[in-house]
A = this chain, B = another copy of it.
Amino acid sequence: MPVSKEIHLKSRPAGVPVPDNFELVETNISDPGDGELLVQNIFMSVDPYMRGRMREEWPTDHVLMGGAVGKVVASNNTDFAVGDHVNNQLGWREYFISNGQGLNKVDASIAPLSAYLGVMGMPGLTAYGGLLVTGELKDGESVFVSAASGAVGSVVGQIAKIKKCTVIGSAGSDDKVAQLVDEYGFDHAFNYKTDDPLTELRKGAPQGIDVYFENVGGKQLEAALTHMRTHGRIPICGMISHYNDDGTASPGPTNLMEAIYKFITLRGFVVSAFMDQQAQFLKDMSGWIQSGQMKYHETILEGIEKAPEAFIGLFSGSNNGKMLVKISDDS
């Protein structure tokens, strides 16, 4: 009957979230009943999409939710044995009781546990499906991805390179920009805080962009529309520059009309659209990781107390690659 520390949403963020929006609460966890199991989380994920859910959907004074990987520490469920590793949607807490629904076993022998919250998990599948299915990427095209050093963006760029594309990425620091080119193999990269996006797109892809993988919105979307080629595609994965817009919604692109004469398609999606691609995705991705074609970084904060700080850091770009919180050791 462990005591579980968990993070509650204390109040709804106004603009950029602050530590006061969150509260650490201790809860007594009961023993698992018939058919139930007890999971101890090892890693939890913080993701930009959570900001949207905090606007209305998720209740205040209630534990938050999100992707996590844990280990089974007690089980009365024949499908799960003590020691199994399970992917779950009950992050932001140390322990939970489950009847097994919504848990997926993961194989720690083909990829590290933390990767199942990144390249092998939701962000990886988001990148894979958004680029190949929604974006209808063809070999050899020109691709621009914003927030390119993030968990999704870095996978987008590397898949595009595997598909023999010209790849441009943007990030928010010169170190990250260097990493995009030197480590992830991007053809061109720029710092969106100091460089003009349109100038950089023209530099990196003089003939124009076929696919813009949209993570950010704002001026980068405008530049992409202007520099888009005929029949270009813009899979809209996120618009992090707008996530903290409460009350004062920032305007959309002034040049959506570019879409008309260039037959551009903008299409929103979330990862649930690609659940039927999951098996092929895991096969492709584990192969790319093992062959060295897919690299990834993680920024890991230690201790569930750090979860709010990790989440808030997403909006200032304090992460390099996937932002995670380590909740316990895998032992």
Contacts and interface: CB of A to CB of B under 8 A. Distances in A.
Nearest to A268: B259
A255 B237 CA distance: 14
B273 A268 contact: no
Contact of A236 (B254, B256, B269, B273): B256
B260 A269 contact: yes
Nearest to A228: B268
A242 B225 CA distance: 16
A164 interface: no
Interface residues on A, range: 20 to 34
Nearest to A265: B267
A279 to B, nearest CB: 22
Contacts of A242: 254, 257
Given A251-B251, A265-B265, A256 B270 contact: no
B260 A270 contact: yes
Contacts of A258: 268
Interface in A260-293: 260-270, 273
A238 interface: yes
Contacts of A259: 236, 266-268
A116 B256 CA distance: 30
A143 to B, nearest CB: 19
A266 B267 contact: yes
Contact of A249 (B217, B255, B265, B266): B255
Contacts of A239: 256-257, 260
A250 B253 CA distance: 9
Interface in A195-242: 217, 236-239, 242
A259 B251 CA distance: 15
A34 to B, nearest CB: 37
A303 interface: no
Given A236-B260, A267-B266, A252 B249 contact: no
A125 to B, nearest CB: 16
30 contacts: A52-B257, A52-B261, A236-B259, A237-B260, A238-B260, A239-B256, A239-B257, A242-B254, A245-B254, A249-B255, A251-B251, A252-B252, A252-B253, A252-B254, A252-B256, A259-B268, A260-B268, A260-B269, A261-B268, A261-B270, A262-B268, A263-B267, A263-B273, A264-B267, A264-B268, A265-B265, A265-B266, A265-B268, A266-B266, A266-B267
Given A236-B256, A256-B266, A266-B266, 12 more contacts: A217-B256, A217-B257, A237-B260, A242-B254, A251-B251, A251-B252, A252-B254, A257-B268, A259-B266, A260-B268, A261-B270, A263-B270
Interface of A: 52, 217, 236-239, 242, 245, 249-270, 273
